[in-house]
Structure 1
Amino acid sequence: MKRMVRTSFAILLTFLFFAFLPDKGQAQAVLEEGSEGYEVTVLQQDLHRLGYLPVAATGYFGPLTTEAVRNFQYDFNLTVDGIAGPGTKHRIQEVHKMARIVYGEARGESFEGQVAVAAVMKNRLYSTQFPSSVSEVIFQRNAFTAVQDGQYYLTPDATAYRAVVEAWRGWDPSAGSLYYFNPDIATSEWIKTRTPEFRIGKHVFAY
């Protein structure tokens, strides 16, 4: 009996020891001033691509990177602390996805037209008529032609990224629209029933 009690007690101590160990994976996911390594390089490359970091990636998280993260967080409605945690990294990945849509759907349009496409995605995120995450909005069935025909998987250019940033900063050339379509090639009869507002380039924006 005593042996069983001692064994059970030892198992309990072992469980408590490992249960309260720091989560190394979680710790590595948080990057802040003083951090260095591959993850920092990737973060800096993303921030440079988005126009927040004016210098090339170095792999060291210094004051310039802190400022870049803070500016990104401010523009994208995140807690402004200069620390690249899971929330900030996730939002950067969402920007990548939105830029793919902008590039796939509107790379031949004016910058205003590209911002308008990005704004439609943002408007959908804040509408009860659509899913509440970027991935769900983008991959909703028949939502975007670029996903259907594979152009989503092309590599976005700098203009597409800037268009997403400007949309998140508050510029909405679509005036709150939830839809857009090219009337010259649109095959959906339903989309043509939406109330059109105006046209930017080849796209008609509608509610």
Structure 2
Amino acid sequence: MFKKVWMAGMAAFCALAFSFPMQSSAHANTHTVQEGESIYNIAMKYGLPAKQVQAMNDKTDAMIYPGEQLKLPAVLSESEKDLLARLVEAEAKGESYAGKVAVATVVLNRVESDIYPDTVKGVIYDGIQFSPVLNGSINNPAGDESKRAVNEALAYQGYDNESLYFYNPDKAQSSYLENKEVTTVIGDHVFLR
């Protein structure tokens, strides 16, 4: 009897556990360094390139210490990649591939930043930053180039200039951005931090 009750309980638990959507892991992860670990060991544990973990943490060498918090690159679900690719498609239409990667990178940098939401969806729908959200063009499908740009931006985390903003000065003016440091200009977009 106990075995039947236990089996029924497990079946109910599994049915409930798998019927709820998984929460996103899009926010930047961290790892607390344990005694004997190296950047290489930590990178292998998470399936990441060691150089990227080193870059994410502004390390000029591989020296780490027990108790130290290391930032790890964000890992996106397929739905988050699709949302980001649709934003890139709408926001950087007509821009170069490099410009599309840079737009995706800004969103990922915001996910990592303490001043923005810690998910891709939260960043994209936060306030009035992205005109495709306001005009509905974010709902259009992304092209292959925008999808590739998102994947490259994910692989590029930690190697960029930490841009948190971008705008097209021919289409928009911003007194808020006038005091920000320009990190790069790609096509019609100026990127800043």
Structures share fold, TM-score greater than 0.5? yes
Distance 2:119 2:113 in 1: 11
- Where 2:77 maps in the other structure, the secondary structure is helix
- Where 1:19 maps in the other structure, the secondary structure is helix
Task: Say if 1:184 and 1:15 are closer, same or farther in 2 by CA, change over 3 A.
Answer: farther
What whole-Å deviation, never above 9, does each CA across 1:78-102 have from its counterpart, x for those lacking one?
Answer: xxxxxxxxxx9x7110000000110
Specify every segment of 5 or more residues in structure 1 that has no aligned partner in the other structure, as ranges: 1-12, 30-72, 76-87
Answer yes or no: is 1:115 the counterpart of 2:101: yes
For 1:24, the equivalent position in structure 2 comes to 15
Residue correspondence of structure 1 range 1-207 to structure 2 within 5 A: 18-21=8-11, 22-24=13-15, 26=17, 74=47, 91-170=77-156, 175-207=161-193
What whole-Å deviation, never above 9, does each CA across 1:10-67 have from its counterpart, x for those lacking one?
Answer: xxx99866433252365589xxxxxxxxxxxxxxxxxxxxxxxxxxxxxxxxxxxxxx
Specify every segment of 5 or more residues in structure 2 that has no aligned partner in the other structure, as ranges: 21-45, 49-74
Greater relative contact order, per chain length (Cα 8 Å cut-off, separation 6+): 2
- Where 2:162 maps in the other structure, the secondary structure is coil
Looking at secondary structure, tell me which structure has more strand per residue.
Answer: 2
Distance 2:118 2:85 in 1: 18
- Where 1:20 maps in the other structure, the secondary structure is helix
Task: Say if 1:172 and 1:150 are closer, same or farther in 2 by CA, change over 3 A.
Answer: farther
For 2:67, the equivalent position in structure 1 comes to none
1:171 offset after TM fit, Å?
Answer: 6.2
- Where 1:23 maps in the other structure, the secondary structure is helix
Please give the root-mean-square deviation of Cα atoms over the aligned residues, in Å: 3.2
TM-score (norm 1): 0.59
- Between structure 1 and structure 2, the one with the greater Rg is 1
Distance 1:165 1:143 in 2: 22
C-alpha contact (below 8 Å) 1:109/1:202 kept by paired residues: yes
C-alpha contact (below 8 Å) 1:116/1:173 kept by paired residues: no
Distance 2:112 2:157 in 1: 15
1:139 offset after TM fit, Å?
Answer: 0.3
Looking at secondary structure, tell me which structure has more helix per residue.
Answer: 1
Task: Say if 1:99 and 1:173 are closer, same or farther in 2 by CA, change over 3 A.
Answer: farther
For 2:43, the equivalent position in structure 1 comes to none
Matched length? 142
